[in-house]
Amino acid sequence: MSEVADNQRNYKFRQIRSFVRREGRITPSQQQALDTLWPAYGIDYADSLINIPKIFNRDAPLSIDIGFGNGVSLLNIAATQPDWNHLGIEVHRPGVGRLLAQIEQANLQNIRVICADAVQVFTSMIADCSVERILIFFPDPWPKKRHHKRRLIQSEFTQLLAEKLKPGGILHLATDWQPYAEWMLEVMENQTRYVNLTGPGNYSEKPDYRPTTKFETRGQKLGHSVYDLIYQRV
């Protein structure tokens, strides 16, 4: 039995936390954004389903970005895809505050943010068959073997995401950590509700909508590869 399979076997019996709150210092501007802009762009966690058309004041395709970090990619994608609704989920408040300030500065009306654990959000707040696309870019790889159980990409979680995606919806993963890319590939290739858009066992070319971040560019200069995995919900 592979390590991935062994982790999946006990997943449902554990309370998984794929993150640690090492927030660091919140700057005054980030705190001000949280204080003043959250009512306009933030969604409080609740044990009830979100009414997406009501929150965005329109009916449009929904893209959800899990773990958006400092928000650079999410902001870029929302700006270049104005006909989509974009929901970001992030647990670290400094990144949330930074994104809120950027949303206001860019005058974007198609982004909303939840500051909570993605597993809880998808379990309690996202309706089944309501999402066109889910993005998970550069999640924490938890490189030490004893921490692999904390990795976000696990069979049970991707099955939960499949329930929320519409038929034909897309799950797009990306990482610059090769061992985690291989882990992701094994997890996804063993799913029955997804099909690999580039064929079984293959990584994808980076699509135009995923921006290249400064962190990614720096890594590429050091010889680090980036692995995209794009799956369609069947």
Active site residues: 140
Lay out the sheet containing 194-196: strands in order across: 111-114, 85-89, 62-66, 131-137, 165-175, 227-233, 194-196
The DSSP 8-state label assigned to residue 210 in this structure reads S
What residue type is 112 in one-letter code?
A: R
Asked whether the beta carbons of 154 and 187 are under 8 A apart, the reply is yes
Distance CA 121, CA 126 (A): 7
Total residue count of the chain as it appears in this document: 234
Helix (H) or strand (E) holding 86: strand 85-89
